[in-house]
């Protein structure tokens, strides 16, 4: 069927479900997806979906047929099975636990339900808001701003660019740290194997000779004996420490202290701060360009940042703006944002291009984070090799010293 005929037919089919007035987000309930389904839908899938939807709308396709095209493209066919689950008693909005089939793409099934909700009169942002495990608060608010302003296509394009930038930067950082991380794992595995299986059989020979052993050999024997005696206790202690730290981090005080200490780390602290500032600037810039009010933006951005100290600084910025301060003054009062960021924002306020200034800040710091990550990794790799060489060298020395003593005695 030609594309134009398909669009007309789809519009006629969907018009039966179109009321005269769209329902907003207050009429919706939240649908929680199983964790295994959420894990199968990544940020890359969301960014591709957003880009494709923006492209279809730019081509002139109406919203409901565009969503249907996305479902078909994702391999979901035309599945419109209703959500299965239960409503929670009381509370608003209500929550349903949704179960999906295992064959179709889970994202395609989500979009199929979004399409059905749109056909039944729900706005696109409200339909997305039903799945907070998939679509973030930033995503939903930008879509809502696009619907309100009549520029949904442009907002989706900007949102796709923002998501693609995040995915691209995360992929570059993972690629940069993958090699040294693999080296560290291999190094730990080799040393553990030597101390657990190879060294004990050699040192046992020295013990049976009843000779005075050099201190490196005695130390090595003590380490091997400890590992063999407490090989079950060591993993238990490590797991216990991990869960204790995880429980501590779930408290507000523990998480705040941890995040503050992370920003004070040498080298890595500045890198983490730049990463958070880039995240804040890009999200703020995208929301400002969408027409979202600044105070509401700051509330949204607080949920995006991963550092509690930065979130507290944004809360202080919001309070200062509420009292009449401008953005640059409010950020300067926190003492957290670098001067270059404050100057760019202040200049953007004067020229009326603060959105572009924030995006420029995000691009600048994303580039710096990428370059700094590569520089740090280039330093970490030789450090891992040196540590590995020192450990293996100590093991070899501890084994060879008694052999030299025996040769001299003979």
Q: What confidence tens digit (pLDDT) does each residue in 69-81 have?
A: 888 887 644 444 4
Supply angle C-alpha 257, 262, 265, rounded to 5.
125
Q: Is residue 155 part of a domain?
A: no
- Are 33 and 75 part of one and the same domain? yes
Q: Output 372 or 105, whichever has higher pLDDT.
A: 372
Residues 391 and 244 placed together within one structural domain of the fold: yes
- Closest Cα to residue 144, out of 122, 120, 117? 122
Q: How far apart are CA 307 and CA 182, in angstroms?
A: 27
Predicted TM-score of the model (pTM):
0.71
Which CATH number belongs to the domain containing residue 126 in this structure? Answer: 1.20.81
In sequence order, what are the beta bridge partners of 122? Answer: 23
Is 130 within a domain? yes
Q: Is residue 332 part of a domain?
A: yes
Handedness of CA 208, 211, 217, 221 (dihedral sign): positive
> How many folded domains does the chain comprise?
2
In order of 7, 79, 146, 162, 234, the CA distances from 62 in angstroms are 8, 20, 15, 24, 61
| pLDDT tens per residue across span 174-187 | 777 788 888 888 88
Nearest to 335 by CA among 291, 382, 273: 273
* pLDDT tens-place string over residues 88-124: 434 444 444 444 444 457 888 888 889 998 998 888 9
Give me the pLDDT at residue 103, please: 47
Do residues 110 and 228 share a domain? no
CB of 121 within 8 A of CB of 23?
yes
CA nearest neighbour of 51 among 162, 148, 145? 162
Average pLDDT over residues 206-232: 82
Is residue 354 predicted with pLDDT exceeding 90?
no
Q: Do 130 and 186 belong together in one domain? A: no
| Total Cβ atoms within 10 A of residue 397 | 13
Identify whether residues 350 and 251 lie together within a single domain: yes
Closest CA to 398 of 210, 211, 202: 202
Question: What share of the chain in percent tops pLDDT 90?
Answer: 5
Whether residues 47 and 90 fall in one domain: yes
What is the maximal distance between C-alpha atoms in the chain? 103
One domain, residues 192 and 309: yes
Q: Are residues 130 and 170 in the same domain?
A: no
Domain identity same for 173 and 87: no
Range of the domain at 128: 3-135
Residue 116 counted as domain residue: yes
């Amino acid at each position: 069927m030609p594309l134009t005929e398909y669009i007309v037919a789809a519009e006629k089919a969907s018009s039966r479900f179109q009321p005269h007035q769209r329902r907003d987000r207050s009429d919706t309930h939240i649908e929680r997806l199983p964790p295994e389904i959420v894990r199968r839908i990544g940020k890359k899938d969301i960014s591709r979906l957003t880009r494709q939807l923006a492209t279809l709308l730019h081509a002139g396709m109406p919203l409901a047929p565009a969503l249907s095209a996305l479902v078909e493209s994702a391999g979901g066919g035309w599945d419109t099975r209703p959500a299965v689950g239960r409503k929670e008693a009381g509370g608003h909005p209500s929550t349903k636990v949704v179960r999906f089939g295992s064959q179709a793409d889970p994202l395609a099934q989500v979009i199929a339900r979004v399409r059905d909700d749109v056909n039944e009169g729900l706005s696109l942002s409200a339909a997305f808001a039903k799945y907070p495990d998939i679509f973030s608060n930033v995503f939903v608010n930008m879509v809502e701003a696009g619907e309100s302003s009549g520029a949904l296509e442009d907002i989706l394009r900007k949102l796709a660019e923002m998501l693609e930038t995040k995915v691209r930067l995360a992929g570059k950082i993972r690629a940069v740290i993958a090699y040294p991380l693999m080296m560290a794992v291999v190094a730990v595995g080799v040393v553990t194997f030597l101390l657990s299986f190879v060294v004990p059989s050699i040192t046992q020979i020295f013990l049976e000779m009843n000779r005075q052993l050099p201190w490196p050999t005695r130390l090595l024997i003590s380490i091997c004996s400890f590992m063999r005696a407490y090989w079950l206790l060591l993993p238990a202690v490590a797991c216990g420490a991990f869960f204790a730290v995880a429980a501590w981090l779930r408290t507000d005080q523990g998480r705040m202290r941890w995040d503050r200490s992370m920003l004070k780390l040498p080298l890595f602290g500045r890198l983490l701060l730049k990463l958070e500032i880039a995240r804040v600037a890009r999200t703020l810039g995208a929301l400002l360009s969408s027409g979202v009010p600044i105070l509401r933006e700051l509330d949204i951005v607080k949920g995006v940042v991963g550092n509690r100290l930065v979130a507290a600084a944004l809360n202080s910025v919001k309070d200062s703006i509420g009292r009449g301060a401008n953005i640059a003054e409010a950020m300067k009062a926190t003492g957290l944002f670098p001067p270059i960021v404050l100057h760019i924002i202040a200049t953007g306020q004067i020229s009326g291009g603060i959105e572009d200034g924030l995006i420029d800040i995000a691009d600048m710091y994303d580039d710096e984070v990428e370059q700094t990550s590569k520089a740090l990794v280039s330093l970490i790799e030789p450090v891992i090799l040196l540590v590995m060489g020192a450990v293996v060298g100590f093991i070899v020395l501890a084994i060879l010293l008694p052999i030299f003593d025996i040769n001299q005695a003979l």
